[in-house]
Copies of this chain bind each other. A is one copy, B any other.
């Protein structure tokens, strides 16, 4: 499969991206006779499936992140460099960030994906997506600021707008965001405001397809719909966002004014395919061989959300377990090739199940033939996610936070930081004077100089 002979000394494996796929590849090569360099533009691995909980103030960023260096401090054949790769030179077999150059014998590209607007990039500032810690922090801030603005404004339409959130996309991210926003509005913030009732929050999910969670079994989609509507979330199926601006969205031409619009409608692979001029699909995911490498450059593997891999005639889904499996697989291929052993058979994806949480103590789960929903689904979901988290420290802390949040309905990370306040709805000048009559000589009502 490789057009170059195996190297005779310890080959250099360069892995770009410390997401699920990249980590699994590096860890899978633990005992292989190779020198691994793991490159990432961040210094931490992010547990992306829980990002929506940062966006809705349940978890702190530090609770779903883990320093890459810590993960590999004990793996002597691996080193970690913080570096944002932006080019691959397939001739000299090097990657670079424009300043430093790192040579490879085997290259694993696992650079992930970003959310995508498919021709409506102008909507991005108004409808942010959720892929990074910064995205999550910005969304949390937008969401929390909307309540603060609603509490202050004397204008009813403005207040209505502040108390409306639209989630574009009814896949797992959209559904989980909708459930978490409903949770925050209907339970956590109850009793904390004097002029508004957070329970009156309007939450709309707009989904172009005929059902929520379209990659899940139909029965789970239906349970999810029932759960969400039971929580007061409006679900619009077969509906399309036709416009999006600072004041909200248009759904099939009808305006919905909303201070918070969240984009959960699709992703686009990172530019790894461009670096290589590789054949890619409409989402810029590189087509790979059955062994997850490129036909032209068999020493280059593309895995995770950056590739479109086929297993059993079907595309492998863009979820964490699939990324981990791909990472583990290429580790086996590289390990075998480096050790002059027979290569493993083509990559085969094993689907472990479908999971989505729909709100407080409610989730839909399908594992094999078993379907769970409601509270038992949620308990299962929680266990699976806690188990997945890297490192004991993160696990206990997150588990405690969940249990605590569940028992008290409190949120632990409700910070609005300084920074971009442009998302803050601007209330009209108003006078906060208490409305009852006053007879004091100190009474004022004028405006400050």
Contact = CB atoms under 8 A, between A and B. Distances in A.
A432 B63 contact: no
A9 B448 contact: no
A449 interface: yes
Interface string A83-115: 100011101111110011111010000000000
Interface string A421-449: 00000111111111010111111111111
Interface residues on A, range: 35 or more
A297 B60 CA distance: 43
A133 interface: yes
Contacts of A419: 134
A82 B44 contact: no
A74 B191 CA distance: 8
A4 interface: yes
Contact of A192 (B9, B11, B70, B105): B70
A124 interface: no
A214 to B, nearest CB: 32
Contacts of A428: 99
Given A94-B448, A134-B417, A415-B133, A69 B189 contact: yes
A406 interface: no
Given A9-B438, A62-B60, A439-B8, A416 B103 contact: no
A430 B93 CA distance: 15
A35 interface: yes
B400 A99 contact: no
Contacts of A74: 191
Interface in A186-204: 189, 191-195
A87 B448 CA distance: 7
Contacts of A87: 448-449
A115 to B, nearest CB: 15
A88 to B, nearest CB: 7
A133 B438 contact: no
Contacts of A371: none
A105 B93 CA distance: 74
A69 B152 CA distance: 14
Contact of A63 (B7, B60, B70, B93): B60
A415 B9 contact: no
A65 to B, nearest CB: 5
Contact of A100 (B81, B105, B133, B430): B430
A410 interface: yes
Contact of A81 (B151, B413, B442): B151
A419 B61 CA distance: 15
B103 A440 contact: no
A389 to B, nearest CB: 12
A70 to B, nearest CB: 6
Contacts of A101: 429-432, 446-448
A80 B152 CA distance: 10
A268 interface: no
A446 to B, nearest CB: 4
A168 B444 CA distance: 46
A448 B83 CA distance: 15
Q: Which of A95, A397, A430, A432 has the most CB of B within 10 A?
A: A432
B397 A401 contact: yes
Given A9-B439, A60-B60, A73-B191, A103 B415 contact: no
A1 to B, nearest CB: 15
A69 B192 contact: yes
Given A412-B62, A447-B101, A448-B87, A93 B442 contact: yes
Contact of A67 (B61, B93, B100, B414): B414
Nearest to A99: B429
Contacts of A12: 434
Interface in A3-30: 4-5, 7-9, 11-12
